[in-house]
A and B are shown apart, each in its own frame.
Chain A
Amino acid sequence: MLGEILNTYYLQIGSFILINIMLAISVYVPLSSGQLSLGSAGFMGVGAYTSALLTIHFDLPIVIGIIAGALAASALGVIVGIPSLRLSGVYLAIATLGLGEVIRVIFVNWDSLTRGSVGLTGIPQLGREILEFARGVGFEPAMIGIKNNQFVFLSIFLVLLVLVIVILWFVVRQQNSRVGRALSSINLDEKAAESMGINITYYKVISFTQGAFFAGLAGALFAHVIGYISPADFSYHRAVEVLIFTVFGGSEVIIGSVFGAFFLTLMPEVLRFVSEFRYIIYGILLVVLMAVRPQGILDANLLKKIKFKRSKGGIR
């Protein structure tokens, strides 16, 4: 019965949405302290290549590869972040943009390691590894009435879902704490925040590095879900796309990133003609949003109204 419901195509789109949510959050977190990072594609690439190379060449388990990938991205985040953070937001945006391009150029040119613009193939796939593990402990997909490839897609989706929930939990908890208040005070007025005793460099590095970590994690997962990667996957366009997820959905509330990634990943799948003009639509979307609703579709006010209506409806 379960076997008839599970559509691998839907599961795959669901997995892409979840990865994109992670990426959107990787932009959202630095932005919540007023830092615009255009390097998300670069960090994603570092995570992806690190994990892919480690698992291909050293036969490391995927889990180790993914963790190493995310850590490599955040280490790079710290190295680039600390000096750039002395500068205002606009400079940081350009520095991260430059970083992203340097990373991509290295992927293209370091042939012996990255195989250039052709990219890496034969990356161990997460779903298959889980399937093997499950079989190892005596579980067969057939036992719950699904085919092997259904199990593969389902397990990927579930792993990603759990990770996204953990990340959301982490970010929300952090937001509603001393750390979160410090980040948002820096976003609102850096000078005033500093004179309230907040070490702004420290908190900026923290949020910037967290962003790099999430992007690296998403990149590593992407590599092991798809199975092949190339420098084109981590271009400037990818960085802009991720930025649009966050800016469109709502850059002031975490749920905005989730909504933006969900909506904009699904839209081209549902409306085929949209796919062709995707970037043109993205461009218009950014211009119109900044002019009309710079905080994005969802903001605190709208969320409050939605909640209010719901609770009123409940009473009736």
Chain B
Amino acid sequence: MVIEVKNITKNFGGISALKDVSFSINKGEIFGLIGPNGAGKTTMFNMITNIYEPTSGEIIFQGENITGIKPYKITEKGICRTYQNIRLFSQMSTLHNVMVGGHSQSHSGVFSSVFRTKAQRKEEQLLIERSEELLELVGLLEHKDTIAENLAYGQQRRLEIARALASNPSLLLLDEPAAGMNEKETDSLYDLIKTVQSRGITVLIIEHDMPLVMKLCDRITVLNFGEKLAEGTPEEIQNNEAVIEAYLGKEEDEVDA
């Protein structure tokens, strides 16, 4: 088991965004987190990366309780994320974005940077090589010197994934990676996530594109109004009465229409 989310509750003011939600993800799985808007999916990501601290409950990552530790330390421990509304370092080049992602994988400080010690130069070289390799993986190597904000939308989404991968995570959190993508882009995103999985990285994905989710995920948890509604394989979820009622039925109607 890579991560165990235990009885997480989060209250904002008087409103609870998450109520007693638990699930656990096995190593190497692609795990889907779905539910209508406002179901608390992104809040769950913010709990796991500790952008907000949960009101109660705990999160166990690789056997260690990581509830309440600083976000940057969580990244160091091997969890990295992307954002629903892309948050790249917009004025930096594509390559530099990925290199920032590799921050936790390198160690040079002020002294070694200013004096360009041998170790620092070697580390920098290695970081560039690794970053370029990741850019190749997401198909952006030819744009490595482009300023991030000048990339096309789909490219920015892929760059965010590359940046997250640069931190060498065991668990990758993807927040609606297919949002705003056309069919062709979504297909190549599918391939990319499968490749990520084949590298032994566990993936937790929030996504509204149901065909993609059903094709991609090994298991799925459905949230509704902050509560866990169901959990299971894509087939089980598709046949779950409560889920169809609350969410899928509506969604499929919309898709049909």
Contact = CB atoms under 8 A, between A and B. Distances in A.
Direct contact of A and B (CB under 8 A): yes
Given A178-B103, A196-B104, A197-B103, A184 B92 contact: yes
A179 B100 contact: no
A196 B80 contact: yes
B114 to A, nearest CB: 5
Interface of A: 170, 173-174, 177-182, 184-185, 188-189, 191-200, 206
A195 to B, nearest CB: 6
Contacts of A182: 100, 103
B104 A173 contact: no
A151 to B, nearest CB: 33
B179 interface: no
Contact of B167 (A170, A180, A196): A196
B114 A170 contact: yes
A195 B51 contact: yes
Contacts of B109: 179
Contacts of B106: 178
A63 to B, nearest CB: 21
Interface in B59-85: 70-72, 75-76, 80-81, 83
B101 interface: yes
B219 interface: no
B171 to A, nearest CB: 13
Given A194-B70, A199-B72, 17 more contacts: A170-B114, A174-B110, A174-B113, A177-B113, A178-B127, A179-B113, A181-B92, A181-B96, A182-B100, A184-B91, A192-B88, A195-B49, A195-B75, A196-B75, A196-B103, A197-B103, A198-B103
B155 interface: no
B113 A192 contact: no
Interface of B: 49, 51, 70-72, 75-76, 80-81, 83, 87-92, 96, 99-101, 103-104, 106, 108-110, 113-116, 120, 123-124, 127, 163, 167
A191 B110 contact: no
Contacts of A178: 99, 103, 106, 108, 113, 123-124, 127
Contacts of A196: 72, 75, 80, 100-101, 103-104, 163, 167
